[in-house]
Structure 1
Amino acid sequence: MRVLGIESSCDETGVAIYDTEQGLLGQALFSQVDMHAKYGGVVPELASRDHVQRVLPLVSQVLEASGTSPEQLDGVAYTAGPGLAGALLVGAGVARSLAFGWGMPAVEVHHMEGHLLAPLLEEHAPQFPFVALLVSGGHTLLLDARSLGDYAILGESVDDAAGEAFDKAAKMMGLGYPGGPRIAALAEKGTPGRFRFPRPMTDRPGLDMSFSGLKTFTLNTINDLGGKEALAEQDRADIALAFEDAAVDTLIIKCRRAMEQTGYKQLVMAGGVSANRSLRARLGEQMKKRGVELFYPAPQYCTDNGVMIAFAGALRLQAGESAELPIKVRPRWPLTELAGL
């Protein structure tokens, strides 16, 4: 089965063609990061307008580069949620129109399921069931992934997601947007032990998480040093290291508990924050000690992309699923409401 996938949930326009027998045939991605950086975060209206300009040229580019004609496609997959309503509508409208014009089915894809399944694109892939740690944008979730579409939430952030906390902490230090990669780069130059930030909600049982306290502690530390303008470069590096250590430790502690609770021996990590090198290294080390195998996507598939949407869509189309009229998007869409296949 050959599927065209379109991702437009936030600030990346992604298009890809995935074939269940031949694998990835082509992909293209346009990031709006530079456009939003001047505002310190994503501006929804600007994001939607840019998707309108980018998506069809990217579809044409991927079709041509992969040597695929519409007649060779078996369906069109698109992100139906969660995400920014306007951005989702652009991708959904284009995908459904193409599918209708080409006389083939379309299928809705849950953005977070796309991330969850991305590690299955790798040569050495996990097998259901497994625990999944999803750390993407405004989402931080620990899931019991029993089978395709059958997911139970084990724990989640009760306030800011990990990615949001990274972005906000970076903004406090004047590092710009997006914050995660900037904090990670600075942390490599930090002085270990100069600052120690709290590990929220790790002193109590359970798998829920909280990252807003880290944001507040970061702000207080900056103010104690005289404010953002008074920070020396080494101050920023030391704060970045303390922040990253605290966030990574919190995720590791919760993952350890999730593996103990489920008894599973496979842990999948996906989403933008999963590209963090410290998190990968330290979580992998901790899981290895416990006989747990850690899986994560290639770096280019950690952030939003069309490949994960084409792949997830292909699996759902293979199972006989397709989208019905009218066209709908779901800016808020719990993973637990997905249909199991």
Structure 2
Amino acid sequence: MKRLHPELKERLQEGLVLPAHPLALTEDRQLDEQRQRLLTNYYIQSGAGGIAVAVHSTQFEIREPQYNLLEPVLRIAAEEIDKAKLGNRFLKIAGICGPTEQAVKEAELASSLGYDIGLLSMGGLQNWTEEAILARVRAVAAVMPVFGFYLQPSVGGRIFSYSFWQAFVEIDNVEAIKCASFNRYQTLDVMRAVANSSRRDQIAMYTGNDDNILADLLTDYNFTVDGTPVTVTFKGGLLGHWAVWTAKAVALMDEIKAYRKNPAVETLNSLLAKGVHVTDSNAAFFDPANHFHGCIPGIHEVLRKQGLLKGIWCLNPKEVLSPGQQAEIDRVHADYPELNDDDFVASFLQQMENEDKL
């Protein structure tokens, strides 16, 4: 059983910006290895605390036999991180999905490539009992540390009971949970389960609620457990939204950490107001108006506009921007200039060109 390095465990608890890594493709929908490596280096130099690879933003189709891209995509990211000589300062997260046998094999592959923790999706298991899913979690946790994942139903997830999360948080080698339920009631279930757990000090909660990022990070979840007050907070975020404008996301996370140390009403109000702008931007990128159909092309379009990707192509040719989505992306870019990191990206791309990596 692989364990999480103590330094990485400490970093997780401090709070990290963890972008969900996209997939760079050429116009004929083949892997663009140069741009894939470029993206990884962008996240490293942006100041992110790690990346999540082979997740929804990387396109689940990479696992299909006709593409066979799971191993190359995981390996390329690991190679670039190793080249950067970041030691135990940068968290390598591998997306893991599928039935138990597939999930265990993916965990073994990720572990062999040097990944620190597996983000275990529970999507596509609608007909499974909660106990069967918990058994699957235990099987993966026997291979490598687990980053739990509460995925919203609109993109293939399902709703779990409070008792499910009570059992989940007690599983040895579960180190963190990404809550991406996009629902306050279901978010509360997970936070309450953590508060009532014997492992509450070992579980790092991360928001995946791209519609509520700042509010999640600024909220204290207070509970009474056996007559004693217990507070649970989101430490950081593992977000598809943070795959774009990442340098500014890191700066925003620093602002939130500073506020946590020295709370002030004026600062809180300012951050909450900025949170509304972040959510508005996310609506443009993720396309909830069309049931999130354009969420991956939307991320690609922001990266394309900045020059980090050559196009917005997806493995599935039907995954394209929704009608009106391009205009929405242009609108939020113009309305919230303080949120984009265009200047950073321009400097980064110039540096890469000078080093003959672009």
TM over 0.5: no
TM score, norm. by length of structure 2: 0.28
Q: Work out which of the two has the higher radius of gyration on C-alpha atoms and give 1 or 2.
A: 1
Q: Which has the higher strand share?
A: 1
TM score, norm. by length of structure 1: 0.29
Of structures 1 and 2, the one with the larger relative CO (CA 8 A, separation 6+) is 1
